[in-house]
Amino acid sequence: MVSRYLSLLAIGSLLSVSPAFAQASQPNGNAPAAPQGQRREIPPPTNLKVLPKDLTGQQVVAIMHGFTGDLGVECSYCHAKDPATGRNNFALDTNPMKDRARVMIKMRNAINTEYLTQLDTKPDNPVTCGTCHRGMGQPSVFVPPPRERRNTPAPGTPAPTTPQPAN
């Protein structure tokens, strides 16, 4: 029993110091992991057609996180996967939802800059994607609640007459 325990302990020790094991335990198998608490640098964005071209990678990521929250979707809802890597390729335009998103961003911008600015009383908050989508990729149609009907006529209208049965 003791010899079996010692054998397992020796094998475990060898595996922990083995270069192959150490390499396999690192992300991507070849690069050392970033120190805990640090994030990898976000590259500058490419293929920006609606968003300002001078945004940093961090700014674009923050905006995109806002969209995912407003629509309740993941990145792949609008961004296409790279066929070679299987990961999202944010510069590709092959997903038709990306074109739809660009149109919707232009519409939101127009509402905020062209229309809401014409109101005498400006709203406290700008229109966002979440204003209509409310956490859903496809916004639901608003159906107003049914109005309560009363049996009393509106002022100035004659009271309805009830037909009398014929004798």
- The pLDDT tens digits for 86-131 are 999 999 999 999 999 999 999 999 999 999 999 999 899 999 999 9
Higher pLDDT, 149 or 79: 79
Residue whose entry in the numeric block shows the structure tokens 């001078």? 54
pLDDT of residue 1: 40
Q: How far apart are CA 67 and CA 72, in angstroms?
A: 8
Question: pLDDT at residue 60 above 50?
Answer: yes
41-139 CATH fold: Photosynthetic Reaction Center, subunit C; domain 2 (1.10.468)
- The pLDDT tens digits for 128-151 are 999 999 999 999 999 999 988 776
- The pTM for the full model equals 0.64
Q: How far apart are CA 60 and CA 66, in angstroms?
A: 10
Query: Binning pLDDT at 50, 70 and 90, where does residue 154 land?
Result: low
Percent of the chain scored above 90 by pLDDT? 62
Q: Strands of 15-128 (E only): list them.
A: 80-81, 88-89
For 51, 149, 153, the CA distances from 163, given in Å and listed in that order, are 67, 21, 17
Higher pLDDT, 142 or 38: 142
Residue whose entry in the numeric block shows the structure tokens 């990306």? 98
Q: Which of 75, 77, 70 is nearest to 130 (CA)?
A: 70
Question: pLDDT at residue 17 above 50?
Answer: no
Q: How far apart are CA 45 and CA 56, in angstroms?
A: 7
